[in-house]
Structure 1
Amino acid sequence: MGRAPRTPWRRGFVRALACALGLGLGLGAPVLPGLTSAQAQEADFATLLADQLYLDGPNRLIAQGNVEAFFENARLSAARIVYDRATGAMQIEGPIVLTEGTRAVILADSAELREGLRLGLIRSARVVLDQQLQIAANTVERRSERFTEMNNVVASACEICPERNTPLWEVRADRVVHDTQERQLYFEGARFRMFGLPVAYIPRLRIPDPSLERATGFLSPRFSLDSDHGVGLRAPYFIALSADKDLTLTPFLGTKGTYALEARYRQAFSNGLLELGGLIARDSIRQGELRGMVYAKGDFAVPRGYTLSFNLIQPSDRSLLEDYDRGEPRLTSDITLERVRRDERIRVQALQFRSLRLGDVNANLPNSVGQGLYDRRFDMPGVGGTGRIRLEAEGYSRRSPLAADPKRVARFSADLTWRRDTILPGGVLGAIGGNLGFDHFRIGAAASGFAPTVSRWRPSLMAELRWPLVRATAGGASHVIEPVAQLIWSNDRTYVLPNATSRMPELDEGNLFTFDRFAGGDAREAGLRANLGLSWTRYDPNGWSSTVTVGRIVRDRDLGQFSPASPLAGKQSDWLLAASVDTAAGLSLSSRSLFSEDFNLTRSAIELDWTAADFGISTSYMRIEADPFENRAVDASEWTFDGSRALDEYWTARVGWRYDIASRRAARTSVGLDYENECLRMAMMIEREYSATTNSNSTRFGLNIDILGIGGNPSITRKRCSDGL
């Protein structure tokens, strides 16, 4: 048959004819046993398209010129196909592109396939799995639908470019078998190379293909160098026990005599997650001691809309978590049952607090706590407005109380709050409200002589006026100025009661206009007082906004509720000055300062966060004066900074520190360098930290290398030809 001109009409006609002939010749897999005739015809359905198509005998079909063949989820593109109906074999000449769904692509020079493109031999092939892992092989033989055998193989997830044909990492092997059912790749005679240099020889190697996210095997190792352990190596081994649970074992070896093993068990349930773990170690930090820790985490949905969660942790000694970089110097364990709805919150909680700092004595702290809370908001019948009822029960105990602190305290509190807002003439917003608070204390024996039972009533009335003034400028910006005056009356009676939950009251823009500035229920604010404030907010059409708030509290008389160094002490509180700026470019700046009557700065906090395409900055400054009542004998002042800068598409530099200005020393300093391309992720970090548990300095160096493109570990970096490193 002669070659016809490639006109759009001719090409469409030939493709339609090829499709019909392809169906007639029965391209596809053999008929499966048990299928009816109609089902067999549907199973054998295939399509063949080409520029030229002709018959060479009764059983031989030849297609050439932009040939495409379709069967189920497989698609084949080639220059020429010769199909033998008698044997079901296809002789294919390339360049060949064979696509199977969205996860596998095979590029080859020539092939011999049968049974609907599923079996056969492919020569000079390159296999791309899940757009991540590339495997180049002399031959690829598809022995069955499950197993594919590749010979003389080079595998890598790195992009190979004409000007630089050596990938950053590669695995060369004599033979590779791909198990598509288990989604595993088995290498025989594997040689692992980096930057073109041999690194390791592994006779038999198994790795998951990129589509498998969970598979038993070793994870990427972690290298470290620090003053406590010397040169260290962590080699995590992941065990996929089943689809809903797994176990990770991480041995840790250090050249200074560290032998440790970490374990983590996770299980998913239909209603939640469970995680159990721990660590056991022998090291030179505590000679001759067996050290360890255990923890448990869980979060479960239980009937009637409740959530049961727990977070339990128990180390063997104060410095263990810091020595192994596993936690903070203050630990909180809890078991919580909670339900949160639109207008209701219910919570029952058991907590244990433990401090690992050298200056803290856990036996003297109220570290065993039980709490129960019911909080509901509702429309107040009859008088209008919104009502709120809050019931709380709390109890805590100390193992060895100090002279001024009771061993056990139990408290029940009830609050009924009402508030109604209205609009007055001239655009003034008015509000009235009230609060009736009741507390009942049961106090264990103490040398300080607290009464064994105390009941406290605290009625409060409130009136508030706000006058928002709005102005729009010709440029499109809008300004809102809002003066606020709030008058609150509470009875003046004070009580001699233990105070463990309200020792650090704050004054900020969030609680300037509230009934009570004590954080817990052990203390309640009393007396006649006026909360006064003024705020100015500017909204710019370019997408940024700024707010400035100034305010203070004026009292009828000083009842001595607050410590002398507190910003809330005296007849007039300190002045509050707060400001914030938020821009569309990712910049967020907030500042809060408190000034005394003579405008001496008593407390200050400044925080700046700026996130852009190629850099990120997070820095804060804090200054607070000494207050013995808050267990702070000297002034505290600290500056923290964490920043990152993208040096180019692959490299990112990081730096951070925490500097104790009052003590004139660095509490933490770190410098890091990260690299990531399409096939490799590397992180290097040097950190020096002042220990809160041992009062000594420690230095750490960490190196993490992740091989990307295998086992569900893709890169976020776009693939493109580059010189890379």
Structure 2
Amino acid sequence: MRRFAVPSPSFSRRLLAGGLSLVALASAATPMAWAQIALPGAGANKGAPLSRNEPVTFRADNVAYDSHNGIVTWTGHVEIWQNDHILRADKVTFDRNTNVAAATGNVAMVEPDGEVLFADYAELTQGLRDGVLTNMRALLASDGKLAANGARRTEGKVNDMSRAVYTACKLCAQHPERPAFWELRAYDATQDVEHKRIEYRDVYLDMLGVPVGYLPFFSTPDPSVKRQSGFLLGDISPHDKQLGTYVTLPYYYVINRQSDVTFIPLLATSTGPQLTTAYRSRLNEGSIRVTGAIAYDTNKQDGYFQNGNYIAPEDSKGVQGYVYSKFDFALNQTWRYGANINLASSADYLRDYRISGYGADTLNSNAYLEGFGSGAYSRVDVQFYQGLNRGVINQSELPFVLPRYIYSYFGEPDALGGRLSLNTSDFDLYRANGTADERGQLSLNWDRPFKSDWGQIYTLTAHLDSEVYNARKLDLVPNYYAANAATSGQALPTVAVKMNWPFLRPTHNGSQLIEPIVQGIAAPNSGNSATRLLPNEDSLDYEFTDTTLFSLNRHEGVDRLDGGARINAGLHGNWTFNGQQIDALVGESFQSHIQKNQVPNSGLDTHASDIVGRVMFTPASWFDVTARARIDHNNGNVHFADGLVNVGPSLLHVSGGYIYSSNSFYYYYSNNLRTSSPPSQFFQPTNEATLGLSSTYKQWRVSGYGRRDLANNRFVAVGADAAYTNDCFMFDVSFNRLYTNINGLNGDTSILFTLTFKTLGTFPVNG
């Protein structure tokens, strides 16, 4: 079989220069003969399929006419075109008796879509519509290359080829006869020019010239096609923990120019079948994406114990399904609206069929309307949560937010040189088995910066937080008050002055900065919210670090407020040299009263808080480290620490992470704290480390990671990945092992092999 051969560069340049501009050809100054044969019904239809009713134009350096035999011979840069279809050759002989044109010598045919056909010899009839080519080679879109011993062209729409070879790989310029990295080698093939599809019969897949696969029939879109209906490469797994052996065979259907749908049937040996449907639509005003499935799950579920509690099995046998949808639309230039709807019949169903979302605590859904103005933002939405991790979450205790309204405004500088900002977050929240409440909230903030003659930078802040609540079932999760219902509120005015005093010293290769920071905050004592029946929805967690050292309210929300007088002090330093830097901050808070709304070991249990600090060190482009900590100022015990480090070039890169907390805050509210203490899990330290390694060398990439629970001396997750990539092929194998217990399932292992062939698609194999 003939391998791909690339025409000479000089000919390719002549082809591109001469074939893309008919006007330039017609007005060329080079002496040559040219003529146009106008057939009946001819018209200018640029880019249309070949038709006998269109004019055919000839052009050549020399023309010879044998009147006795009715033969016309063109030689020297011969060009024949009809519409945007162009034929070029060194010599063309046209027999007027048979209407057959024979082209020899650097034969090339250019199609309107940019496809170029090369041949040693071509016979064409019916204009350029029918013909026979020997030793055909074609340059397609996306670097596609197609070759055949011979080809027959019919009606300008179909090319039938014998002994065809296709690849999208680059060929060796020094040795073009060498096999491509991969190629399809077929006994025969048919290229449907009109419908942009290529069909191969008795086809082999060769890798580096070695056959590795065979298919009796294979069909693929032309490389120039972006979207076309047809079967896609499916997924196959010889063994899966829940599915057994399974296969998928997706079918992609193009509805119109902006919409399509994909059907993915799944057949498995260990459970029932599943049909997944994915719909997409891109409209002028927005987009729609909906993915859903229906399945018949035959896996038997068992109950399990978690934290000493028995969790009954879900009713997840029989017909199951899920829907994930996303809608985003623009109402006008200011307003947009949309929805994200994510629902599943059961968490075990998501696990059994390996559906994305399994392993998370909840599936979140919302619908929203939001607007963007000059310095303003407004949003109203509704929210719904479906619990997945039943060992930790009770569905009846999850909230419905019906609705929530957010508004934020940041004004321009006023006559006094300050800026006013306004924020409100209001909601109506319902739980079937828990606190239901409505909240109206308003925060006002005014900042006025100014400088002193000594270089201090001052910021004067006047702030007001206010909330009003109407609550029911306050005696249930997450508040557990003694009262069942209450209408309550709070307001906290705050005045603060912050001073930054930077001392900057330029150096020959950078600069050095020492910056003392002092902040004074004055507000009424907020007291203990437990005595005022104030619901708590957005301030359940509390974390005092360098990021909240100078915050007016160190809670993550506004249901709990920081009152009283306090002084925050810190020292910031920065050294920049040769484009690298060291940046550090250390500070402490001194408060007049002890806040009663924090969880234990928050760092604010005494008048003098824990010492917080961070350091960022980037001594070189291939090394950076960030670390922060919270340390008891009395005994030096570390209550919180985390860090990230990245070391090394791409040839060998090491990344690591570490986190430590003296308590596990996630479990703090799992018990009724009014009648009992926090559970034992709360007092167990969080102590985890993560290590990752990666290496990239030329076309190879390998990586691995491990996450270990140091407190319990066990792994949380490990994984590895290896990949090879070149201009037309990618092979990737990944391994992941989870050791966590989710819904009674202890650990999960997955291996995924992925082969991607340029212009053909991706073929995944699960292990």
TM-score, normalization: structure 1? 0.85
The verdict on how the C-alpha distance between 1:562 and 1:288 changes in structure 2, with shifts beyond 3 A counting, is closer
The counterpart of 2:625, out of the listed 586, 589, 592, is 589
2:305 maps to none
Task: Determine whether 1:293 maps to 2:322.
Answer: yes
Q: Secondary structure at the match of 2:482?
A: coil
Q: What code does the residue aligned with 2:574 have?
A: T
Q: Secondary structure at the match of 1:426?
A: coil
Q: Cα offset for 1:294? A: 1.9
1:473 maps to 507
The verdict on how the C-alpha distance between 1:629 and 1:172 changes in structure 2, with shifts beyond 3 A counting, is closer
* Larger deviation, residues 364-373 vs 580-589: 580-589
Q: What code does the residue aligned with 2:597 have?
A: Q
Q: Cα offset for 1:526? A: 0.7
* Larger deviation, residues 523-532 vs 599-608: 599-608
For the residues of structure 2 that align with 1:245 and 1:17, how far apart are their CA atoms? 46
The verdict on how the C-alpha distance between 1:291 and 1:46 changes in structure 2, with shifts beyond 3 A counting, is same
Conserved in 2, the CA contact under 8 Å of 1:561 and 1:569? no
Instruction: Output aligned runs, 1:320-339, within 5 Å.
Output: 320-323=349-352, 324-327=354-357, 328-331=359-362, 332-339=364-371
Conserved in 2, the CA contact under 8 Å of 1:18 and 1:49? no
Q: Secondary structure at the match of 1:458?
A: strand
2:252 maps to 238
1:376 maps to 409
Conserved in 2, the CA contact under 8 Å of 1:533 and 1:550? yes
Q: What code does the residue aligned with 1:368 have?
A: F
Q: Secondary structure at the match of 1:319?
A: helix
Conserved in 1, the CA contact under 8 Å of 2:444 and 2:465? yes
Q: Cα offset for 1:349? A: 1.8
Q: Secondary structure at the match of 1:230?
A: coil
1:493 maps to 526
Task: Determine whether 1:544 maps to 2:580.
Answer: yes
Instruction: Output aligned runs, 1:196-595, within 5 Å.
Output: 196-197=210-211, 199-203=213-217, 205-224=218-237, 225-257=239-271, 259-279=273-293, 280-284=295-299, 286=301, 288-303=317-332, 305-323=334-352, 324-327=354-357, 328-331=359-362, 332-363=364-395, 365-369=397-401, 370-379=403-412, 381-401=414-434, 407-447=435-475, 448-450=481-483, 452-474=486-508, 476-494=509-527, 495-496=529-530, 497-541=534-578, 543-581=579-617, 585=621, 588-595=624-631
Conserved in 1, the CA contact under 8 Å of 2:650 and 2:694? no
Percent identity over the alignment is 22
Instruction: Output aligned runs, 1:72-221, within 5 Å.
Output: 73=84, 78-82=89-93, 90-100=101-111, 103-113=114-124, 119-159=130-170, 162=175, 165-167=178-180, 169-187=182-200, 189-195=201-207, 196-197=210-211, 199-203=213-217, 205-221=218-234
Q: What code does the residue aligned with 2:747 have?
A: N
Conserved in 2, the CA contact under 8 Å of 1:247 and 1:265? yes
The verdict on how the C-alpha distance between 1:214 and 1:642 changes in structure 2, with shifts beyond 3 A counting, is farther
Q: Cα offset for 1:140? A: 2.4
For the residues of structure 2 that align with 1:380 and 1:131, how far apart are their CA atoms? 54
For the residues of structure 1 that align with 2:688 and 2:38, how far apart are their CA atoms? 73
For the residues of structure 2 that align with 1:614 and 1:95, how far apart are their CA atoms? 46
Structure with more relative contact order (C-alpha pairs < 8 Å, separation 6 or more): 1
- Post-superposition CA distance 1:695-719 (Å, at most 9, x none): 41222222222332247x89xxxxx
Instruction: Output aligned runs, 1:18-57, within 5 Å.
Output: 21-23=32-34, 25-26=35-36, 30=39, 32-33=41-42, 48=59, 53-57=62-66
* Larger deviation, residues 299-308 vs 84-93: 84-93
1:4 maps to none
1:697 maps to 747
The verdict on how the C-alpha distance between 1:708 and 1:34 changes in structure 2, with shifts beyond 3 A counting, is closer
* Larger deviation, residues 104-113 vs 57-66: 57-66
- Post-superposition CA distance 1:296-344 (Å, at most 9, x none): 2111112462221322212222333344141142222222221233411
The counterpart of 1:637, out of the listed 687, 699, 702, is 687
The verdict on how the C-alpha distance between 1:696 and 1:614 changes in structure 2, with shifts beyond 3 A counting, is same
Q: Cα offset for 1:442? A: 0.8
- Post-superposition CA distance 1:34-76 (Å, at most 9, x none): 679xxxxxx85967465xx353447866555666667765555
Q: Secondary structure at the match of 2:245?
A: strand
For the residues of structure 1 that align with 2:275 and 2:646, how far apart are their CA atoms? 38
The verdict on how the C-alpha distance between 1:684 and 1:587 changes in structure 2, with shifts beyond 3 A counting, is same
Q: Cα offset for 1:574? A: 1.8
Conserved in 2, the CA contact under 8 Å of 1:313 and 1:333? yes
For the residues of structure 2 that align with 1:684 and 1:109, how far apart are their CA atoms? 44
The verdict on how the C-alpha distance between 1:66 and 1:303 changes in structure 2, with shifts beyond 3 A counting, is closer
Q: What code does the residue aligned with 1:182 have?
A: H
Conserved in 1, the CA contact under 8 Å of 2:300 and 2:317? no
- Post-superposition CA distance 1:142-180 (Å, at most 9, x none): 323433332332233345655984555544444433233
Q: Secondary structure at the match of 2:411?
A: strand
Q: Secondary structure at the match of 1:206?
A: strand
TM-score, normalization: structure 2? 0.81
For the residues of structure 2 that align with 1:34 and 1:17, how far apart are their CA atoms? 24
Q: Cα offset for 1:262? A: 2.2
Q: Cα offset for 1:529? A: 1.1
Q: What code does the residue aligned with 1:624 have?
A: S
Conserved in 2, the CA contact under 8 Å of 1:329 and 1:357? yes
Q: What code does the residue aligned with 1:681 have?
A: M
1:706 maps to 756
Give the gaps of 5 or more residues in structure 2. Answer: 1-24, 46-53, 302-315, 476-480, 671-681
Q: Secondary structure at the match of 2:32?
A: helix
For the residues of structure 1 that align with 2:28 and 2:718, how far apart are their CA atoms? 74
For the residues of structure 1 that align with 2:416 and 2:171, how far apart are their CA atoms? 76
- Post-superposition CA distance 1:578-631 (Å, at most 9, x none): 122457846553222111112221111212357965566554221112146365
Conserved in 2, the CA contact under 8 Å of 1:103 and 1:211? no
For the residues of structure 1 that align with 2:139 and 2:544, how far apart are their CA atoms? 61
For the residues of structure 2 that align with 1:174 and 1:576, how far apart are their CA atoms? 73
Instruction: Output aligned runs, 1:644-659, within 5 Å.
Output: 644-649=694-699, 651-659=700-708
For the residues of structure 2 that align with 1:291 and 1:299, how far apart are their CA atoms? 27
Q: Cα offset for 1:661? A: 2.0
- Post-superposition CA distance 1:455-479 (Å, at most 9, x none): 21100001111112221112x2122
* Larger deviation, residues 482-491 vs 131-140: 131-140
For the residues of structure 2 that align with 1:452 and 1:209, how far apart are their CA atoms? 69
1:5 maps to none
Q: Secondary structure at the match of 2:454?
A: helix
For the residues of structure 2 that align with 1:512 and 1:645, how far apart are their CA atoms? 39
Instruction: Output aligned runs, 1:609-648, within 5 Å.
Output: 609=646, 618-626=655-663, 627=665, 629=668, 632-648=682-698
1:673 maps to 722
Q: Cα offset for 1:396? A: 2.2
For the residues of structure 2 that align with 1:618 and 1:290, how far apart are their CA atoms? 45
For the residues of structure 1 that align with 2:192 and 2:178, how far apart are their CA atoms? 28
The verdict on how the C-alpha distance between 1:182 and 1:421 changes in structure 2, with shifts beyond 3 A counting, is same
For the residues of structure 2 that align with 1:645 and 1:258, how far apart are their CA atoms? 42
Conserved in 2, the CA contact under 8 Å of 1:74 and 1:101? yes
Aligned length: 682
The verdict on how the C-alpha distance between 1:636 and 1:152 changes in structure 2, with shifts beyond 3 A counting, is same
Q: Cα offset for 1:437? A: 1.6
Give the gaps of 5 or more residues in structure 1. Answer: 1-13, 37-42, 402-406, 715-725
- Post-superposition CA distance 1:20-47 (Å, at most 9, x none): 5333x22x774644679xxxxxx85967
Q: What code does the residue aligned with 1:640 have?
A: T
